[in-house]
């Protein structure tokens, strides 16, 4: 027996699970986490030789001031929110769909096909509806592939969906370098030409109408997840596949259906990106949105309404970073880094919402 | 254009495979502890930029007296530490604070990518354009073992690489030996398979997870160093890692968690990634299609592994799950 | 105190989980070379107490003395260093590693792993105590009792002087239990101290020198085994006198309800699970199913429920006769005399052809219920499809939840509290209550009282008897042979996926059933079926 055991000592820190925490307290912890993240980011800005307050000020000014700045911010928030909504049902089912990035692109490719080759043959409204439908189907099918394998053989979906992102991205690059690039472009550039006017989404309040669509989708997704039979099935499958089977649910069918929906909504975001935001398909059409949206969905605890706030926050950061690049020559990558820091703090703070930390000698007995 | 069966293809494949090898070995070690760290891409950026900064600022400080070998050594240490720090953040969040591994890994990739590009470009801005390391440092990363490299055929084939390639090779052998032949390796595997059991057997699960994840992260970071110093020749190029971290994640699956197969897989994937330069048909138009071959290959392996269900080629059983002892 | 005579002494140990006090100032002492039974109902805090001794949990208060000296046990490693080893109910073994690798897990020693040397040492220990063990065999290839052997060797290899066994006989046959007890006695003779956690009174009487009793987290007392008897121990355990008799009501008539013919199926890993299983279950009786864990019980019930793929064979369902109570309720109208084939149908299809089949699976929170949902969400599990339109109806399940909560006295803060927060007994009441609410004609239950306190267990027995009297065919998979013998009308014994016999519960003995669990009599195999 070694000597160290003779001394009777409690560990320095111990944990106890909190059963319920008051909502305001939880949100206060989250707000504090964001604040701490901004302070940490501020220190880095300071290290780069700028005043954090000024830089943050211009970020807010550059993203939220009326007119163009705000419109650009909203434009960035739309696909983030929409993709987070797409991911929600999959994550609720504990199907780790890391492939929204690819599903966005799959949808974007399908929409672009009609924009490039059918623009003159169809009336505008019909064309846009066809583009949207094609995007949903393409994104849905791209989501369905890993779901089918998961349902049949239990193939790891995290890694599968991840790989599919790069496959479809390679295909976009291929289209860009050949069939839809130089072959279509009168000037022969390896770029996909801009869409005809008929293939562009109309605007409302200065931003493409995608924002209306996404807000409507938020409400629909809330109802779908919480009040529909499908939503109930998704919740049960996510909790326990055995229970779902026991209840007579056709689990493979539910997995496929849910991933088709998830991919389909992501595909629809691809349509909004090409038809609304940029007017053409590029390799940056998804541009990491599929990944960032996962963090949006997760931090919102899959609550569609909370996703609005988080998507807005990240969009402000991103647009703000464009501004500070021009004013302070701080590289725009600062936005990504700052997003990462905020994510770290928000992920970490959930722990303090779920657990009580007990210091040695304190709170041993209630 | 050279032939697919030439020595230069093999050399190019090894050169392209080396960063993948580091990323894969690092992630493999991490996953053996039950942590799925999707932040490899981010850690490679962190390692790459820290390595470049280390070498560059050392050269600035040492002036004319600077030595390429010292610069490379400093770069290696910096790259390892910076990436290990990224893995440390991941560890704090997922092991101590019990955050979701997938989401935390993505956050690390977002952070690391931003950090790498920000620091890389800020360094360039401060230096008035771009930073570049000295020729002597570059030469170290061009590599080649004196005398031996001049031997006919085998010289080029075996002895013409820089020190990182040999280091990667040594790491693969060491990791295979560690996991299969040492008690610590056995304990680590048990942590990844069944942390509850490991804990009950007196293994400090938290310590193992932290160590494996941080060391694994550091190793992955050397892949970033290779990209920046060898492939980009000591210059920061925006988005230079460009998905290699994700290929590394794929390669771990492709290798079904075996360091030996990781070694082979990295070289195969390296070969695939330079394939387009050696294929006489398709030209630039088909280049992107060649680029997706590694990913398709990984998907095929992933599916094959899930269909065959061999006990020995499955992922560590607790992969992706957090472990808490005092839960009820 | 502090005489130093005790191998282990616990003083006023306290442990709370959230608002639940699992151990409230529990004191206990264990002498060297002694076998102590730690007796208590499920949820009385036995395992929590022992987990503090083995370093899994850290106490909130109180102290632990080893050989008379106060110690701090912060981790399992500390426990090992003090010579304390625990054999958990759920084995702590890594499946993909070999026996030898599991045994040396986490131990200090030379950095290099010398597999041959370890195998030699393992063989030496095995010979000393009479174990049979292959050091190079992978755990996933082992039977339950082999795994337990590895666990015991693992603890001995670490030089443990105090062994704690958590419900070691739960997974063993009567014969294997005897073998285990022999090993425990030889370890005791070797000077080791042993604590055995159990709630089986007969075993307590057989193996232990002393019995310590816990009730609801409180320490009740320690008695010499020689001075007590099962009835008095039960009173200590429950806190009042209880009748240990289980009712076996007679029913007026029994009609054929289920006919299983030549059923064959495989486990998920491809191993044969059921081989040529043939039997009948009658309405108005309780058919017990006995067997070693993993003899095909799970696959049998799941095959009937349409949850498991059947390779060959038939399952015919016969509706209740029109004059039976069930038919009179009008819930089920028989259509024809021929049996309905259930093989090849999904649970939904079985439901659609009018078979009212209720199933209380072994894994309550992982299969029968959704742990994170409240009672309402769980009531909907099998009925959420009812009602038109894409949205779910919550009114009916809510009403049902309220009724069950009142009638079965389910203790829950509210009907929307996640069921995972309820105690084991209440969880089971939610599950059984929901299944019975569908007026089943066949009610299948697997280990329905496992983990329940005595009161809840008797509630469940009453509910099963009630369904029997209503004319349902009750199929009960059990592990406690004493209970099966008292409660059931007939007992079918499974051995390695085959029916080794069907006996009249009132006339058979525990020994006869125990024998059938490990041995298939060749001559009378078909005669009894």
pLDDT digits (tens, 9 = 90+) for C379-423: 999 888 887 888 888 888 999 999 999 888 888 888 888 898 887
Contact B111 A337 (CB under 8 A): yes
Beta-carbon contacts of A366 under 8 Å, excluding residues fewer than 6 positions away, are C16, C19
Task: Kindly report, residue by residue over A15-53, the tens digit of the pLDDT.
Answer: 667 766 777 888 889 889 999 999 999 998 888 888 889
Residues of B in contact with C96 (CB under 8 A): 193, 311-312, 314, 317
A-chain residue closest to C14, CA distance? A365
Choose from B201, B312, B325, B327 for mutation: most chain C CBs within 10 A: B201
Tokens of A170: 């390679």
Alpha-carbon gap: A300 to the closest alpha carbon of chain B (Å): 12
State the ipTM, two decimals.
0.90
Residue count of chain C, please give it: 529
Q: Does A220 touch chain B (CB under 8 A)?
A: no
In this prediction, residues A62-86 reach a mean pLDDT of 91
Beta-carbon contacts of C169 under 8 Å, excluding residues fewer than 6 positions away, are C177, C180, C198, C200, C203
Residue from the list B181, B183, B198 with its beta carbon closest to the beta carbon of C109: B183
- Among B56, B49, B39, smallest CA distance to B213 is for B39
Residue listed under structure tokens 């009142």: C406
Alpha-carbon gap: C396 to the closest alpha carbon of chain A (Å): 15
More confident residue, A11 or B144: B144
Helix (H, G, I), strand (E, B) or coil at A236: helix
Distance CA C464, CA C445 (A): 9
Distance CA C296, CA C310 (A): 13
Q: Does C124 touch chain B (CB under 8 A)?
A: no
Residues of A in contact with C18 (CB under 8 A): 16-17, 19
pLDDT at position A92? 95
Q: Which residues between 266 and 325 in chain A have a beta carbon less than 8 angstroms from any beta carbon of chain C? A: none
Buried b (16+ CB within 10 A) or exposed e, C24-50: bebebbbeeebbbbbbbbbbbbbbbbb
Distance CA C418, CA C401 (A): 13
Distance CA A125, CA C385 (A): 37
Tokens of B268: 């195969």
Per-residue DSSP letters for C3-42? -S-EEEEEEEEEEEETTEEEEEEEEEEEETT-EEEEEE-T
Q: What is the mean pLDDT of chain C?
A: 85
- The 3-state secondary structure of C180-248 reads HHHHHHHHHHCCCEEEEEECCHHHHHHHCCEEEEEECCEEEEEEEHHHCCHHHHHHHHHCCCCCCCCCC
pLDDT at position A363? 45
B-chain residue closest to A165, CA distance? B295
pLDDT at position C337? 60
Contact B110 A343 (CB under 8 A): yes
Confidence of residue C2 (pLDDT cuts 50, 70, 90): very low
Contact C80 B182 (CB under 8 A): no
Helix (H, G, I), strand (E, B) or coil at C65: strand
Contact B292 A166 (CB under 8 A): yes
Contact A347 B100 (CB under 8 A): yes
| C31 DSSP β-pair partners | C6
Task: Kindly report, residue by residue over B103-121, the tens digit of the pLDDT.
Answer: 999 999 999 999 999 999 9
Residues of C in contact with A234 (CB under 8 A): none
pLDDT at position B150? 81
- Among C9, C167, C171, C148, smallest CA distance to C84 is for C9
Element (H, E) at C259: strand C255-266
Mean pLDDT comparison of B294-298, C8-12, C252-256, C323-327, highest-scoring range:
C8-12
Residues of B in contact with A169 (CB under 8 A): 292
pLDDT at position C1? 41
Tokens of C332: 């089920």
Do C204 and C177 touch, CB atoms closer than 8 A? no
Task: Kindly report, residue by residue over C182-235, the tens digit of the pLDDT.
Answer: 889 988 998 899 999 887 788 888 899 999 999 888 899 899 999 988 888 888
Contact B288 A171 (CB under 8 A): yes
Tokens of C257: 């309800």
Rg value, chain B, Cα: 20
CB-based burial of residue C460 (10 Å sphere; 0-12 exposed, 13-18 middle, 19+ buried)? buried
In this prediction, residues C165-190 reach a mean pLDDT of 84
Task: Kindly report, residue by residue over C475-486, the tens digit of the pLDDT.
Answer: 999 888 888 988
* Number of cross-chain residue pairs from B and C with Cβ atoms under 8 Å apart: 87
Q: Does A96 touch chain B (CB under 8 A)?
A: yes
Residue listed under structure tokens 């390779």: C311
Q: Does C157 touch chain B (CB under 8 A)?
A: no
Cα torsion through A8, C10, C79, C148, rounded to 10: -170
Distance CA C316, CA A348 (A): 56
**Cβ–Cβ contacts within 10 Å for residue A121, how many?**
10
- Among C308, C310, C302, C410, smallest CA distance to C359 is for C302
pLDDT at position C422? 83
In this prediction, residues C460-470 reach a mean pLDDT of 91
Residues of A in contact with B315 (CB under 8 A): 156
Alpha-carbon gap: C453 to the closest alpha carbon of chain A (Å): 24
Alpha-carbon gap: C411 to the closest alpha carbon of chain A (Å): 17
Q: Integer distance in angstroms from the first to the last C-alpha of chain B?
A: 65
| C282 DSSP β-pair partners | C256
Task: Kindly report, residue by residue over B47-58, the tens digit of the pLDDT.
Answer: 999 999 999 999
Helix (H, G, I), strand (E, B) or coil at A58: helix
Per-residue DSSP letters for C435-476? HHTT--SEEEEESTTTT--HHHHHHHHHHHHHHHHTT-EEEE
Helix (H, G, I), strand (E, B) or coil at C268: coil
Residue from the list B184, B193, B200 with its beta carbon closest to the beta carbon of C56: B200
What is the DSSP pairing of strand C490-495 with strand C498-504? Answer: antiparallel
**Does residue A156 carry a pLDDT above 60?**
yes
More confident residue, B200 or C325: B200
B-chain residue closest to A290, CA distance? B106
Task: Kindly report, residue by residue over C76-113, the tens digit of the pLDDT.
Answer: 888 988 999 999 888 889 989 999 999 999 887 777 88
- Among B105, B40, B246, B253, smallest CA distance to A294 is for B105
Residue listed under structure tokens 């669509």: A213
Residue from the list B97, B102, B296 with its beta carbon closest to the beta carbon of A96: B102
Helix (H, G, I), strand (E, B) or coil at A117: helix
B-chain residue closest to A331, CA distance? B118
**Cβ–Cβ contacts within 10 Å for residue A9, how many?**
10
Backbone angles phi, psi at C499, to 5 degrees: -80, 115
The DSSP call for residue C319 is P
Do A259 and A98 touch, CB atoms closer than 8 A? no
| C21 DSSP β-pair partners | C16
**Does residue B5 carry a pLDDT above 80?**
no
Distances (CA, A) of C518 to A327, C172, C180, C278: 82, 11, 16, 18
């Amino acid at each position: 027996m070694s000597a160290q055991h003779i001394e009777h000592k409690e560990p320095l820190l111990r944990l106890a699970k909190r059963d319920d925490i008051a909502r305001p307290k939880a949100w206060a912890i989250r707000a504090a986490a964001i604040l701490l993240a901004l302070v940490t980011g501020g220190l880095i800005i300071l290290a780069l030789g700028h005043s954090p307050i000024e830089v943050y000020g211009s970020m807010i000014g550059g993203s939220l001031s009326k007119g163009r700045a705000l419109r650009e911010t909203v434009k960035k928030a739309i696909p983030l929110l929409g993709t987070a909504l797409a991911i929600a049902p999959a994550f609720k089912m504990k199907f780790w769909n890391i492939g929204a990035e690819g599903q966005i692109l799959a949808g974007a490719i399908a929409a672009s096909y009609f924009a490039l080759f059918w623009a003159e043959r169809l009336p505008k409204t019909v064309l846009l509806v066809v583009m949207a439908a094609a995007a949903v189907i393409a994104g849905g099918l791209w989501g369905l592939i890993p779901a089918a394998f998961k349902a049949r053989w239990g193939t790891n979906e995290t890694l599968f969906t991840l790989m599919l992102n790069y496959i479809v991205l390679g295909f976009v690059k291929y289209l860009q370098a050949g069939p839809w690039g130089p072959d279509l472009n009168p000037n022969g550039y390896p770029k996909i030409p801009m869409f005809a006017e008929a293939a562009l989404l109309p605007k409302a309040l200065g931003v493409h109408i995608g924002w209306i669509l996404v807000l409507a989708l938020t409400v629909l997704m809330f109802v779908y997840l919480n009040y529909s039979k499908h939503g109930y099935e998704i919740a049960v499958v996510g909790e326990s596949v055995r229970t779902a089977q026991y209840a007579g649910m056709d689990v493979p069918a539910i997995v496929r259906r849910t991933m088709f929906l998830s991919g389909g909504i992501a595909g629809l975001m691809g349509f909004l990106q090409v038809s609304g935001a940029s007017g053409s398909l590029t390799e940056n059409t998804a541009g990491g949105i599929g990944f960032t949206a996962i963090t949006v969905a997760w931090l919102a605890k899959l609550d569609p309404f909370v996703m609005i706030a988080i998507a807005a926050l990240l969009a402000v950061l991103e647009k703000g970073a464009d501004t500070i690049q021009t004013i302070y020559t701080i590289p725009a990558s600062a936005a990504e880094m700052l997003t990462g820091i905020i994510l770290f703090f928000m992920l970490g703070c959930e722990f303090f919402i779920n657990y009580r930390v007990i210091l040695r000698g304190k709170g041993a007995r209630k | 254009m050279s032939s697919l069966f030439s020595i230069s293809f093999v050399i190019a494949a090894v050169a392209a495979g080396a960063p993948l090898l580091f990323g894969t070995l690092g992630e493999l070690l991490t996953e053996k502890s039950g942590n799925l760290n999707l932040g490899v891409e981010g850690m490679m950026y962190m390692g790459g930029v820290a390595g470049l900064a280390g070498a560059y600022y050392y050269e600035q400080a040492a002036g004319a007296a600077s030595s390429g070998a010292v610069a490379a050594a400093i770069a290696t240490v910096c790259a390892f530490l910076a990436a290990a720090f990224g893995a440390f953040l991941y560890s704090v969040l997922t092991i101590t604070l019990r955050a979701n591994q997938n989401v935390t890994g993505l956050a690390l990739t977002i952070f690391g990518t931003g950090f790498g590009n920000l620091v890389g470009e800020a360094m360039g801005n401060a230096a008035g354009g771009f930073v570049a390391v000295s020729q002597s440092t570059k030469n170290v990363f061009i590599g080649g073992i004196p005398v031996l490299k001049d031997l006919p055929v085998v010289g080029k084939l075996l002895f013409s690489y820089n020190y990182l390639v040999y280091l990667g090779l040594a790491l693969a052998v060491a990791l295979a030996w560690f996991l299969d032949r040492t008690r610590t390796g056995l304990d680590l595997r048990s942590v990844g398979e069944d942390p509850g059991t490991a804990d009950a057997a007196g293994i400090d699960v938290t310590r193992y997870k932290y160590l494996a994840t941080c060391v694994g992260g550091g190793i992955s970071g050397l892949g970033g160093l290779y990209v920046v110093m060898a492939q980009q020749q000591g210059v920061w190029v925006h988005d230079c890692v460009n998905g290699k971290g994700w290929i590394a994640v794929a390669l771990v699956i492709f290798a079904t968690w075996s360091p030996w197969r990781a070694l082979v897989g990295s070289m195969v994937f390296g070969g695939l990634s330079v394939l387009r330069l050696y294929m006489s048909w398709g030209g630039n138009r088909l280049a992107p299609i060649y680029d997706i071959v590694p990913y398709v290959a990984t998907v095929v392996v992933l599916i094959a592994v899930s269909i065959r269900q061999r006990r020995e080629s499955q992922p560590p059983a607790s992969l992706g799950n957090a472990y808490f002892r005092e839960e009820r | 105190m502090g005489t130093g005579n005790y191998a282990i002494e616990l003083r006023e140990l306290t442990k709370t989980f959230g608002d639940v006090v699992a151990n409230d100032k529990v004191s206990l002492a264990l002498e060297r070379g002694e076998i102590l039974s730690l007796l208590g109902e499920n949820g009385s805090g036995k395992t929590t107490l022992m987990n503090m001794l083995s370093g899994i949990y850290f106490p909130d208060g109180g102290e632990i003395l080893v050989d008379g000296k106060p110690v701090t046990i912060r981790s399992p490693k500390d426990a090992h260093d003090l010579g304390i080893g625990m054999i958990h109910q759920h084995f702590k073994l890594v499946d993909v590693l070999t026996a030898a690798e599991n045994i040396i897990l986490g131990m200090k020693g030379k950095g290099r792993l010398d597999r041959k040397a370890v195998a030699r040492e393992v063989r030496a220990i095995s010979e000393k105590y009479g174990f049979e063990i292959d050091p190079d065999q992978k755990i996933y290839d082992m039977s339950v009792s082999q795994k337990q052997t590895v666990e015991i060797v693992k603890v001995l290899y670490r030089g443990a002087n105090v062994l704690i066994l958590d419900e070691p006989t739960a997974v063993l046959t009567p014969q294997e239990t005897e073998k285990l007890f022999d090993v425990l006695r030889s370890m005791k003779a070797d000077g080791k101290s042993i604590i055995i956690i159990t709630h089986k009174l007969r075993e307590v009487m057989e193996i232990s020198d002393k019995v310590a009793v816990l009730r609801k987290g409180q320490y009740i007392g320690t008695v010499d085994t020689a001075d007590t008897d099962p009835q008095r121990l039960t009173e200590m355990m429950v806190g009042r006198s209880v009748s240990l008799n289980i009712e076996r009501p007679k029913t007026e008539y029994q009609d054929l309800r289920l006919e299983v013919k030549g059923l064959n199926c495989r486990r998920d890993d491809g191993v044969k699970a059921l081989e040529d299983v043939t039997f009948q279950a009658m309405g108005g009786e309780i058919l017990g199913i006995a067997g070693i864990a993993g003899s095909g019980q799970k696959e049998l019930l799941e095959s009937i429920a349409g949850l498991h793929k059947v390779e060959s064979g038939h399952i015919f369902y016969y509706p209740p006769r029109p004059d039976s109570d069930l038919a009179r309720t009008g819930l089920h109208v028989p259509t024809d005399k021929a049996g309905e084939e259930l093989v090849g149908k999904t649970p939904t299809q079985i439901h659609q052809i009018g078979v009212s089949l209720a199933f209380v699976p072994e894994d309550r929170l992982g299969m029968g219920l959704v742990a994170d949902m409240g009672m309402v969400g769980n009531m909907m599990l099998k009925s959420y499809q009812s009602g038109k339109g894409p949205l779910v109806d919550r009114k009916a399940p809510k009403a049902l939840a309220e009724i069950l909560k009142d009638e079965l006295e389910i203790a829950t803060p509210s009907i929307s509290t996640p069921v995972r927060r309820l105690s084991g007994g209440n969880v089971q009441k939610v599950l059984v209550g929901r299944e019975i609410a569908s007026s089943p004609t066949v009610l299948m239950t697997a280990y329905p009282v496992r983990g329940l306190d005595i009161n809840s267990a008797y509630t469940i027995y009453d509910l099963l008897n009630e369904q029997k009297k209503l004319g349902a065919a009750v199929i009960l998979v059990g592990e406690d042979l004493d209970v099966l013998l008292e409660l059931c009308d007939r007992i079918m014994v499974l051995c390695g996926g085959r029916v080794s016999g069907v006996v009249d519960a009132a006339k058979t003995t525990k020994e006869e059933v125990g024998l059938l669990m490990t041995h298939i009599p060749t001559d009378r195999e078909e005669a009894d079926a």
